[in-house]
Amino acid sequence: MNKKDEKLMNKFLKNITFITISSFLILSPFKNVKADNFNDETEDNYSYISIKRFDKPIDVLDVKTVEDNLKVSNSLTRMTNHQLNEVINYVADNDSGISTYASYNLNNALKIAWKAAAQIAINNGYPLASTLVISSVDDIDYYEQNGAFSQAIKRTNVYKRIQSGSGSDKFTPSDSKNLYYVIHAFDYHNSKTNRLSISGTFDFSLNTDYQNMFSTLVNNWGYLNQKKEVLKPIIVNIEMEK
């Protein structure tokens, strides 16, 4: 074999090696993918990837993974109040069945039920309060900068009296029911850079007024009211330009 042929052969072998390695790297992550129709209860969540769409209320009973939870959460925003109440009813009616399967499945289903309740509140004109319920379900502190909360606060009389210094104050129902339900009492601080910061704690279990509002919107409030353990107290921080 002359040098020219040898160079061509080496180039060919390098290309074959590159293609083989690339194919392995691309395909290997999918070796454990299984359709949910073939998933048995012995498989772990790591090897389980659902292909289910989760767009019907009854699908809440099939939530098994974080990915499933996200799919259902997205579907809730497209459901009617009747469908959202159905989601809650399915969880309530199958509580014991979900529990015997696995405790984390019950926890996931309960979180979806609470998010369905929050979406009902959003649909009925309480977007701010419901935003914090969803953050509470996910156990994530809420931070906002010049957003929806800031706009709502600027429309209240409270905003006019907290324009300087630092201190504490509170919202009343006459200021804004949305803000009263979720923040109520808070601390504030005005910076030298013309910014106002408001901080407080959202704890649904202590907010009886907000619970009363939910009881008028959610058909199966009796069940959810007994399942408040999935809601966690969260810190709320709101910053705005004055």
* 3-class SS letters over the chain: CCHHHHHHHHHHHHHHHHHHHHHHHHHHHHCCCCCHHHCCCCCCHHHCCCCCCCCCHHHHHHCCCHHHHHHHHHHHCCCCHHHHHHHHHHHHHCHHHHHHHCHHHHHHHHHHHHHHHHHHHHHCCCHHHHHHHHHHHCCCCEEEECCHHHHHHHCCHHHHHCCCCEEEEECCCCCCHHHHHHCCEEEEEECCCCEEEEEEEECHHHCHHHHHHHHHHCCCHHHHHCCHHHCCCEEEEEEEEC
Lowest mean pLDDT among 57-61, 100-104, 159-163, 213-217: 100-104
pLDDT at 44 over 80: no
pLDDT at 38 over 80: no
For residue 10, the model assigns a pLDDT of 55
Tell me the pLDDT of the chain averaged across its residues. 78
For residue 30, the model assigns a pLDDT of 37
Identify the CA nearest to 154 among candidates 207, 213, 203, 198: 198
Measured CA to CA, the distance from residue 73 to residue 130 in angstroms comes to: 13
Lowest mean pLDDT among 31-45, 55-69, 195-209: 31-45
Reading phi first (left if > 0) and then psi (alpha if -120 to 50, else beta), residue 45 is in alpha
- Answer yes or no: are the C-beta atoms of 171 and 184 closer than 8 Å: yes
Measured CA to CA, the distance from residue 159 to residue 153 in angstroms comes to: 6
For residue 238, the model assigns a pLDDT of 97
Reading phi first (left if > 0) and then psi (alpha if -120 to 50, else beta), residue 145 is in beta
Lowest mean pLDDT among 42-56, 120-134, 181-195: 42-56
For residue 113, give Cα distances in angstroms to 4, 21, 104, 222, 232: 70, 46, 14, 13, 15
Taking the model in full, what pTM does it have?
A: 0.72
